[in-house]
Amino acid sequence: MEKKVFSVPEVVELSKHFVTLRVDLTKKHPRQAELQKQYKIRGVPTIIFVNRDGIEEKDLRIESFVGSNEVLKRMKMLIEKP
């Protein structure tokens, strides 16, 4: 997804409205396990969207490989939420 989604210019531009965090689940680290448990991450790839209040918008979660159009759609949906 790094090459086919997150490097797409429109995704890069819209990402400026977000705080982004990438966690490599192939490397074991205590904080990684905490995040997996906290957000109930079952596999990769997983993209979660958290609102300004720190609450996950579960209806926007992505748990599979998707294209840039789907990621952009969900990013825009979060921006448009009240």
* pLDDT tens string 52-79: 999 999 999 999 999 999 999 999 999 9
Q: Is residue 3 part of a domain?
A: no
pLDDT value at residue 24: 85
Q: Is residue 61 part of a domain?
A: yes
pLDDT tens-digit profile of 2-53? 999 999 999 999 999 999 988 888 888 888 889 999 999 999 999 999 999 9
- Whether 12 and 72 have beta carbons less than 8 Å apart is answered as no
Please give the residue range of the domain that contains residue 30.
Answer: 9-80
Extract the tokens encoding 82.
Answer: 């009240």
Q: Is residue 59 part of a domain?
A: yes
Find how far residue 42's CA is from the centre of its chain. Answer: 14
What is the rounded CA–CA span in Å between residue 8 and residue 72?
10
Find how far residue 36's CA is from the centre of its chain. Answer: 13
pLDDT value at residue 55: 94
